[in-house]
Structure formats: C-alpha cells, structure tokens
C-alpha cells in the first residue's frame, strides 16, 4: 500500500504547484473525484477570509470548521491540511489564545500553506510534516481534530483513528468531512466508481466507519450524508467524542 501513498503524495504535490492564483491546474477539488469544483460552494462567505491561493488549493468535500463548532482558546489539529484553508479559518476562530496545527505529508502543500498563513496574517498556526497514521504530537495535546476529505485516502484507517484517540484530550471531539460508501457496496464496487486518489475507492462504508471509530474508543459517533457524489458514494459529516474516562 506504500504505492498508494506515493501516488496520493504525487497527485497532491502537483495540486499544490498548480494552486497559485491565476493557474488553471487541478486546484479547488479537481484532483479529487469527489471534491467540489468551487471552494465557494463549501465555504460561502468564509472563502473570503483566506488568501486566494488557499481557496484554490482546497480539495475537500465539506467544511469541517463549521462541523467542529470551534471555540476560543482551543487547540485544533487538521489532518491532511493541504493548502491551509481549514487551518487558517480555525486559527481565526480559536483566537490568539488558541492554536491550529496543520499536518501534511507533502512538502509542496506545506510550503503553500505556510505562505497562505503568512498572507492571511495569522500567527497562531503551526504546520507539521508527517503522516496521519503517525501524528508527530504528544498524547492528549489537542482539543479538536478536523479533516477534509483525507481519511478516505489512508490505507490504514484503524491506525488513523487510533492516533486521533491518542492525541485528543479527554472530552475532545472530531469534526470531519469525508467520503463514505453506502453499506450495500462492496470494496470492489467502490473501486468501480472511482480511484483511490480520487477519494472513492478507499472509502469506508457508514457501518465500517462507525465500527472503527468505536473500536478506537470514541463515543457519540454520528455520520450524516450530505451529498451523493457517485452512485452509493457520499460526502458526509462525521462527529465523535473521546470519553472523559475509560469505559464511558
């Protein structure tokens, strides 16, 4: 599955190179079969709060900043932060007493995100290089985890969910936008509807997603489909909470 990861990295590195304003590359979702073709559709007026380069590099399928209902002073981690749109918006919402981390494996995206954050004049941000299956942060160090159409790209989703549980503080929460398959579709049928790098072939079903989150220790798990992006494949909102104590 390392070949899948490298294919994803190459595709999103190219997206970063094409995302500078005025280009006609595969920004704004064009590299993800299930993404939107217009960041404005997902973010509305919020798109005006970020530099154009951050909006052009948005490859997501939702608006996790809204899903997460961020509060002042919180520490937020964005898994697969791309060009930084969700990190920048998060930083504005948690304010100067909060902090927004962005984690990405692609040097080109990290460079773009840092430039976009500087252009947006947000200083309570930190971009980290690494994998979402091996988050370079200490245990119980963040209050909220967000992600936008990225977890479906991982070939080790139980590893991702385990890392989320590890770095979240007790009572911490998830606010995620992702691509999820209907429970009646087999993995082969999902692959027929789109590629792995296109955010479809690697999608978990609703039942699998919930089961894996609960296995990692999360409670109050909710998956809500928002749009059908291919037959039986949906963009979805995912919410869950890390309990305050074991066995909650």
* Averaged pLDDT of the chain: 84
Res 37: pLDDT: 46
Res 21: pLDDT: 45
User: Is residue 138 pLDDT above 70, yes or no?
Assistant: yes
DSSP secondary structure letters along 22-61: T--SSTTTTTSTTS-S-HHHHHGGGGGGS-HHHHHT---S
The tokens for 2 are 């390392």
171 bridge partner residues: none
Query: What CATH number labels 2-241?
Result: 3.40.50.150
- Residue ranges of the domains in the chain? 2-241
The per-residue pLDDT for range 157-208, each reduced to its tens digit, is 999 999 999 999 999 999 999 999 999 999 989 888 776 666 777 899 999 9
- Number of CB atoms found within 10 A of residue 26's CB: 20
Q: Residue 211 contacts by C-beta under 8 Å, 6 or more apart in sequence?
A: none
Q: What's the predicted TM-score (pTM) here?
A: 0.84
Burial 119-135 (b: 16+ CB within 10 A, else e): ebebebbbbeeebbbeb
User: Is residue 35 pLDDT above 80, yes or no?
Assistant: no
The per-residue pLDDT for range 230-248, each reduced to its tens digit, is 899 999 999 999 999 765 4
What is the mean pLDDT of the segment spanning 95-113?
Answer: 94
């Amino acid at each position: 599955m390392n070949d899948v990861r490298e294919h994803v990295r190459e595709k999103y590195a190219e997206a970063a190179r094409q995302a500078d304003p005025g280009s006609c590359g595969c920004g704004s979702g064009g590299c993800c079969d299930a993404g939107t073709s217009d960041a404005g559709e997902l973010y509305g007026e919020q798109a005006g709060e970020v530099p154009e380069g951050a909006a052009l590099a948005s490859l997501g399928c939702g608006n996790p900043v809204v899903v997460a209902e961020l509060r002042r002073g919180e520490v937020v981690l964005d898994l697969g932060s791309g060009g930084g749109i969700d990190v920048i918006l998060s930083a504005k919402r948690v304010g100067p007493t909060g902090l927004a981390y962005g984690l990405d494996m692609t040097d080109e995206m990290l460079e773009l995100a840092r430039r976009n954050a500087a252009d947006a004049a947000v200083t309570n941000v930190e971009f980290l290089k690494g994998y979402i299956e091996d988050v370079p942060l200490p245990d119980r160090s963040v209050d909220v985890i967000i992600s936008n159409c990225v977890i479906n790209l991982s070939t080790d989703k139980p590893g991702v969910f385990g890392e989320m549980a590890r770095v979240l503080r007790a009572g911490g929460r998830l606010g995620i936008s992702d691509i999820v398959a209907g429970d009646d579709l087999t993995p082969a049928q999902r692959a027929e509807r789109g590629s792995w790098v296109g955010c479809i072939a690697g999608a978990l079903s609703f039942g699998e997603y919930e089961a894996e989150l609960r296995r990692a220790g999360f409670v109050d798990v909710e998956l809500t489909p928002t749009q059908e992006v291919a037959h039986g494949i949906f963009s979805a909102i995912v919410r869950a909470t890390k309990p305050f104590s074991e066995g909650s």
